[in-house]
Amino acid sequence: MPQKPPALQRPLPLFDRANELICGVDEAGRGPLAGPVFAAAVILDPARPIMGLRDSKKLTAARREALAIEIRTHAVSWAIAECSEAEIDDLNILHASMLAMRRAIDGLHRRPTLALIDGNRCPVIELRCDAIIGGDDRVEEISAASILAKTARDAALVQLHAQYPCYGFDQHKGYPTALHLARLRLHGVSPVHRRTYAPVRNLLAELAAFAAGGAT
């Protein structure tokens, strides 16, 4: 059976880099079962180009860290924001991601004229914006934001590992790996787990049913 051809990416929008102050925006951490979701916004300096910017997921951890230092040093402005596990459970991950992006944009010390967002939708902001599917590997401002969001979130999960070492957050960064799922069942749900995510929600339901059965 012939394979289905990949979906075509729409052409990048036309924008005037000479007269626009462009910020790239991306998030990190929608899929994990634990920890906040992070977002970053970056305005790059055309006079100080950074070589090797691309989707953070396609870079080694060491390369991401090196590029993150360059971005923070050479960018015109950058900001990182997050939404907590409680906000994710209250709002859902989509709306929490949009809120984190909005917070990151608001955290810039220079007001951009255009925001380019990775993905297929924009947060509600008082700013012209365009969503670009695959933008983290196609637009250098979004690539830079992807790198800052990813490195910030990874660092936060290493800190959570120091608080909750039994889960192995330093290894899986909260993603639902076999190790994480096994530790979750062994040690139960921590305060930093996202209770609306299926593996966590199902475990809580099992424990509640067990407790109810034991009480009868």
**Residue 133 in 3-state DSSP?**
coil
This prediction has a pTM of: 0.90
- Could you give the CA distance from residue 179 to residue 165 in angstroms, rounded to a whole number? 13
Render pLDDT for 130-161 as a digit per residue (tens, 0 to 9): 999 999 999 999 999 999 999 999 999 999 99
**Average pLDDT along the chain:** 93
pLDDT score for 10: 61
Nearest to 99 by CA among 89, 110, 88, 108: 88
**Domain boundaries along the sequence of the chain:** 22-162, 164-215
**In the chain, how long is the greatest CA-to-CA distance?**
72
Nearest to 20 by CA among 135, 106, 113, 105: 113
Of 11-15, 30-34, 35-39, 163-167, the range with the lowest mean pLDDT is 11-15
Rounded mean pLDDT of 176-196? 98
Give me the architecture of the 22-162 domain, per CATH.
2-Layer Sandwich (3.30)
